[in-house]
Amino acid sequence: MRAMVLDHPRPAEEQPLQARDIPEPTPGPGEIRVRVRVCGVCHTDLHIVQGELPMHKLPVVPGHQVVGVVDALGPDAKGFKEGDRAGVIWLHSTDGSCEYCRRGSENLCVNATFTGYDVDGGYAEAVIVPAAFAYGIPKSFSDENAAPLLCAGVIGYRSLKLSGAAKSDRLGLYGFGASAHIVLQIARHMGCEVYVFTRTPEHKELATRLGAAWVGDAKDRPPHELDAAIVFAPAGLIVLDVLRALRKGGIVALAGITMTPIPEMDYSLIYGERIIRSVANSTRQDARELLELAAQVLVRTEVTPYPLEEANRALSDIKHSRVEGAGVLCIG
């Protein structure tokens, strides 16, 4: 099967992924094979190909926002049949037995494996996933429009929950890529007023079109203090700007898997019971809730399609904020 393979991490502009034919995988016990139609391109993929995260497996096929069709089932794989549409996300498996799994925080599982990182992912014609970690896709979404929900949507949704934002709250979104443009729609549905901070003129325009109450640069002070904020941009410096805009007792959720160092700060910036917290992975429950909610809210995902062979260009475009909404690879 065709796949985009990472042998050695390097900057996205240097074409780190190589188009190659690799053997088609066979599902083992409890697993299904998904014939990939579309795979979303995530900021985490960029961190992986550029070596900004410790490598778990090389060579590796990245990609963890897969929408496709089940075409083979391993022994005892339950919940899907051949021909069903299925989605694959970042969380590929957990041990189900560590202290975090037992506490209901499987996103923090000490033995978790991740799609496109510990196991080959969706920048390929087929991918293997445990049936228990695959998801049905709501009928109202096309393959292309569903793909960004699977990480951008799911992680954004978890970040929104952890930010504590509630009805009538003022929510700040810092960085306006795939995840933020989905969160904005859900937050508005919840009754939040959304403030978007981004440099990119195209992103400002999309945020306005999707109903942001206010749009500005990260350094700008919004006209009102924020009750909650989510940082999508992987720049630690921004955290200080967010704290300056946040009311006492407000929460800043950091949605990224990695970030440049957060600078030393004056205690007064966080005093007043402001909270900074990170968001790590997601649980299966987060994914189920988000997919249901997205169908209810009628979330509209803006996608920029690329052919599989142009995955390097897609990653480079994301790196330089040249993608409006979400980049997706169209494969099948």
Beta carbon of residue 252, minimum distance to Zn ion (angstroms, whole number): 20
- Interface with Zn ion includes 171 (CB under 5 A)? no
- For Zn ion, the binding residue among 42, 119, 160, 311 (CB under 5 A) is 42
- For Zn ion, the binding residue among 109, 146, 246, 254 (CB under 5 A) is 109
Beta carbon of residue 133, minimum distance to Zn ion (angstroms, whole number): 13
- For Zn ion, the binding residue among 44, 115, 179, 312 (CB under 5 A) is 44
- Interface with Zn ion includes 149 (CB under 5 A)? no
Q: Considering only 87-95, 165-173, 180-188, 213-221, which stretch makes contact with Zn ion by CB under 5 A?
A: 87-95
CA distance 164 to 169: 9
First-last CA distance in the chain? 11
Beta carbon of residue 98, minimum distance to Zn ion (angstroms, whole number): 3
- For Zn ion, the binding residue among 88, 119, 151, 293 (CB under 5 A) is 151
- Interface with Zn ion includes 48 (CB under 5 A)? no
Q: Considering only 121-129, 148-156, 198-206, 213-221, which stretch makes contact with Zn ion by CB under 5 A?
A: 148-156
- Interface with Zn ion includes 95 (CB under 5 A)? yes
Q: Of the candidates 332, 303, 327, which has an alpha carbon nearest to the alpha carbon of residue 315?
A: 327
# binding residues, Zn ion (CB under 5 A)? 8
- Interface with Zn ion includes 160 (CB under 5 A)? no
Q: Considering only 21-29, 94-102, 142-150, 314-322, which stretch makes contact with Zn ion by CB under 5 A?
A: 94-102
Q: Which residues bind Zn ion (CB under 5 A)?
A: 42, 44, 94-95, 98, 101, 109, 151
